[in-house]
A and B are shown apart, each in its own frame.
Chain A
Amino acid sequence: MTTDRILKLGRRLIVASFFVIALTGCWDRLEIEERAVVLGVSIDTASPEAEAEEDEVSHLQGSQPVPSKDMVRVAVQIALPGRIPLGPGESGGGGKGSAGQTVWVVDVVGHSVDDAIMNLQQQISSRLFFGHLRVIVVSEQLAKKGLENVNDYFRRNSEVRRMAWMMVSKGSAKDLMVAAPKLERVPTLYLMSTLDEGIRMGKFPKDYIGIFWSNSSKKGQEGFLPYVEIKKEQNVEVKGLAFFRGSKMVGKSNPLQIAGYLGVKGINPAGYRVFVKLDGAPSTVMTAAAHRSSKIGLRIRNGIPVFSIQIAIDVNLEEKMGDKIHINDPKTLRRIELLQEEGSDKSYKDFLEMTQKLGSDIFGFGEIVRSKQPAFWNRHVKSKERWQEMYKEVEFEVSTSIKIRRIGMKGK
């Protein structure tokens, strides 16, 4: 019977297909020790002379042209298998403070990020694996030239996670790869925890690479990145925010202005401290913010968006410089509140003005216009470029309300 034959054939095919299924798993088999797990990447600009360092890996003189004379220097931090202690119990070698212990830092030049990575792969036996990439550091110089190439490469790569951090370094980015802070065994994890802890202490907003990308893409918003510097004990200071306009860095803030950003956005927990000076140096107090909230209102006046920003901050008094004032008096507390309100108002306004001058709307005021006043947006703004111009003209009305809630364990 024919059906019998078909059944037989079917059975054979079933067996054959099992082979297929069993065999396919092996194409992408890659043992963990055959991978070069990249934990961190730094990207610097390199001078055109650096071309002499490079071999023709991804291009040939003449036939495969190079894009431009601009070169980048890419350094990667590769985890050394077996050297990274897996728990607190394993106390390994310890002591020596060099990055050479748990990771291997290799640097290479190239005409683009991918070119450099290819040059690097040519020099390293194992396949580079970006699935655990946690930190990408770019130098200020490169950020000012524009990050189109960097953003494109890492967005296209399916292994890179959107939870990685990207940061802009003052000076050389490679220094942050080589640095070995003593607190963490793995240097990039230290870099990462600097920022992650910053979020938890209210010192830094959530700004993973994915969030940076999303914000830079939005029509009414610009991205920003943490601006960091390496200090003499190989510790890392968060020096402020690096403002972007499109994919070009256009400016930077100082550390306290991060608090300005957090305050305007009303991000919690709050974690910055400021001085409040009551009649002269001896009676200065320091307050620590504990909770922020903000409300942003929008209205259109004479064809210009006007934002009214109401910021409310709960603070605790932390320190007093002299004995002249007694803070167990509600009147004194009220005076401190009023003085701080005044100071905050001014600092918020200055900060907003600064971003306006740069045409870099890192707060996303444009997005508020786009979502709340679509008619106005569709008629007058439409594009990102137009908003970058209009942002310079928008007006802000800032009012801050400070409430001192606690004064610590001391009565006076």
Chain B
Amino acid sequence: MEPKRHITVIETASILVSTIIGVGVLPLPLFAVNAGDSGAPLITFVAVLFATVGVVLIAVLGMRFPEQTIVQYGETIIGKWPGRLGSLLVIGFFAVLTSLTAREFGEVVVTAVLKKTPVEVTVIVMLLLAALSVRNNLTTFSYIHYFYFPLLLFPALFIVALSLKNADVQNILPIWGNRPVGVTRGIITITALFQGSFILTSVIPHMRRPEYAMRASMVGMLVAGGLYVIIVAATVSVFGAEETKKLLWPTLELAKATSLPANVLERLDAAFLAVWVTAVFTTLLSSYFLTIQSASQLLKLKDHRMFSFFLLPFVFVMAMQPQNIVQMYQIIELVGRIGLFITIAYPAMLLVVSILRKKRGERVDDRSNP
């Protein structure tokens, strides 16, 4: 497959945004208030900064090796076998992330909407949908994201804006929080929600102008991070920090407490869930794609499609491992923390080594050729 270079900057940014916004938005305010009560928006903001560091590392690496993904340049930078080990970790981590995303999605749906539907069914439907969609090439992949991006961002902003009717600024004061406990933990957990941004490494080799990868990633982080901070600020200012701590999915509760003007719709949780299902799908699509594309590149296969259904049973079985919702969130937090080593520490290490060893990928010559 000849890498065609025609993914634009805006498409890259939209891939980032719609990948990052996913299941995590529902428990996000809970993570944030548990760390810093009324300082929740600030905690989220700091987490966004940390996540941005990770994205910047990947973007810089991508710009050094504009023809390759992390699986390929990993081998160049730190040698064949260490590189392969690193790639294996990336593949394993994103497979786990995919399964946890699907499971979290299933739990929310079964708790909040389809109470009698077995969780296995909601999970497998979502995974099947992702498995089918990743069979497309990267161009179609980026179009899917580009298409859903506005459908995801604007309704979410709209719902948040409406909810501000019930907001009270006093609830998010003082902005640094009263008794912040476990700030570091909270920041790490929220930073982990941005790990989908790793998809950038697959996108850069197909960008029309890889040197703009940094610009795209900044725009993407600004939009996704901005939305996250806004959601946390809105939720906490509507409910207050203490009430938010009592809610499992504060963002969903926010939609539930929000009504359209003149009570056309008295609760927006159904509308919000519809948007959210799309958001989960795009997230799942990216992590699934990243997993199978990296796996096929590791094995030097030409086509990534082969893995799409091969991976499905493994991901599904992993998704079914957590025994209950409390355990699931413990696992998600743990996996997220471990994941930071893979999504931030590993690229950082690669970058340092590549600078020390003065390794560079080939430059892209024909930029005008679409």
Which A residues have a C-beta under 8 Å from some C-beta of B?
Answer: 3, 6, 9-10, 13-14, 17, 20-21, 24, 27-28, 155, 158, 161-163, 210-211, 213-215, 217-219, 364, 367-368, 370-372, 374, 377-378, 382
Contact = CB atoms under 8 A, between A and B. Distances in A.
A378 B179 contact: yes
B246 A217 contact: yes
B246 A14 contact: no
Interface stretch (B17-25, B82-90, B109-117, B186-194): B109-117
Contacts of A27: 114, 116-118, 121
A201 B125 CA distance: 51
B178 A17 contact: no
Contact of B132 (A17, A158, A219, A364): A17
Q: How large is the interface on B (under 10, 10 to 19, 20 to 34, 35 or more residues)?
A: 35 or more
Contacts of A368: 170
Nearest to A9: B309
B173 A13 contact: no
Interface stretch (B48-56, B73-81, B237-245, B287-295): B237-245
Contacts of B242: 217-219
Contact of A163 (B117, B239, B266, B309): B266
Interface string B154-188: 00000000000010001101101011000000000
Contacts of A214: 238-240, 243
A163 B111 contact: no
A20 B122 CA distance: 10
B360 interface: no
Given A218-B242, A218-B243, A371-B170, A10 B256 contact: no
Contact of A218 (B115, B240, B309): B240
A213 B116 CA distance: 28
Contacts of A217: 239-240, 242-243, 245-246
B315 to A, nearest CB: 15
8 contacts: A10-B309, A20-B121, A20-B124, A155-B246, A162-B256, A163-B257, A370-B174, A374-B178
Interface in B101-140: 111-118, 121-122, 124-125, 128-129, 132, 135
Contacts of A20: 121, 124-125, 128
Contacts of B122: 24
Contacts of B239: 210, 214, 217
A215 B174 CA distance: 18
A24 B110 CA distance: 12
B309 A13 contact: yes
A21 B125 contact: yes
Nearest to B124: A20
Contacts of B112: 158
A214 B253 CA distance: 12
Contacts of A213: 243, 246
Contacts of A9: 309
Contact of B259 (A13, A163, A218, A367): A163
A374 B178 CA distance: 6
A162 B256 CA distance: 7
Nearest to B266: A163
B66 to A, nearest CB: 30
Task: Give the top 9 A-B pairs by smallest Cβ distance, nearest first.
Answer: A371-B173, A217-B243, A27-B117, A217-B242, A162-B257, A374-B174, A214-B243, A17-B128, A28-B114
Contacts of A21: 125, 128-129
B337 interface: no
B215 interface: no
Contact of B116 (A28, A162, A215, A377): A28
Contacts of A364: 170
Contacts of B256: 161-162
Nearest to A382: B179
B38 A6 contact: no
B173 A24 contact: no
Contact of B117 (A14, A24, A372, A378): A24
A320 B165 CA distance: 40
B6 interface: no
B142 to A, nearest CB: 22
A368 B38 CA distance: 13
A105 to B, nearest CB: 24
A31 to B, nearest CB: 14
B359 interface: no
Contacts of A218: 240, 242-243
A24 B266 contact: no
B115 A24 contact: no
| Most-contacted residue by chain A among B113, B135, B239, B240 (CB, 10 A) | B240
A377 B309 CA distance: 57
Contacts of B243: 213-214, 217-218
Given A24-B117, A211-B166, 18 more contacts: A10-B308, A13-B309, A20-B125, A21-B128, A24-B125, A27-B118, A28-B116, A28-B117, A158-B111, A158-B113, A162-B257, A213-B243, A214-B239, A214-B243, A217-B240, A364-B170, A368-B170, A371-B171
A215 B128 CA distance: 44
Interface in B228-283: 238-240, 242-243, 245-246, 253, 256-257, 259, 266-267
Give the residue among B117, B129, B135, B174 with the most A Cβ atoms within 10 A: B174
Contacts of B117: 24, 27-28
Contacts of B238: 214
B311 interface: no
A37 B343 CA distance: 49
Nearest to A367: B170
A400 B166 CA distance: 27
Interface string B25-39: 000000000000010
A213 B246 CA distance: 10
B325 interface: no
Contacts of A158: 111-113
A251 B303 CA distance: 73
Given A20-B125, A218-B243, A382-B179, A14 B116 contact: no
A215 B239 CA distance: 8
Contact of B115 (A3, A28, A215): A28
A10 B125 contact: no
Nearest to A208: B257
